[in-house]
Copies of this chain bind each other. A is one copy, B any other.
Amino acid sequence: MADNINKLTAAIHRNLQITLNNKLKDFSIGSGQHDFFYVISLHEGITQKELSEWLYIGKSTTAKAVKNLVAHGYIRKEKDERDKRYDRLYLTDEGRQNSARIHETFKGIVEITTKHLSQSEIEQTIDVLRTILNNVLAENKEINADQ
């Protein structure tokens, strides 16, 4: 078997998590929560549903990540007044203090991954990956309409 896209995306994902954990070892939240924090810091007021959709991750995982971020004092939840089913998410002061550090780290991750690649290679790859993701999501939707 030669390399294929599935194996490579899996390997990249796993090993990038390791990179991220190393770079943010002293930051007192677990590896999965960095992404959530990052997105919230870019889109304050986002709901958990939107966060799940943005990251293409299950809502139960989002609920737990958010719970942890709140417990660590980095973000806070606020009930939407017009529809009390929604929780809107905002950075706390402590979250805001750590925000720049996270942004730098994420920028560094992008630089690491794109080393030795031209801008057009990167753009084309992003396009193809987006197509692949849509293919996979369509396949999963076919099987199960929910979640």
Contacts and interface: CB of A to CB of B under 8 A. Distances in A.
A11 B131 contact: no
A38 B6 CA distance: 13
A97 interface: no
Contacts of A85: none
A50 to B, nearest CB: 13
B122 A5 contact: yes
A13 B19 CA distance: 17
A112 to B, nearest CB: 5
Contact of A129 (B42, B125, B136): B125
A135 interface: yes
Interface in A1-33: 1, 3-16, 18-19, 22
Given A5-B113, A116-B135, A56 B122 contact: no
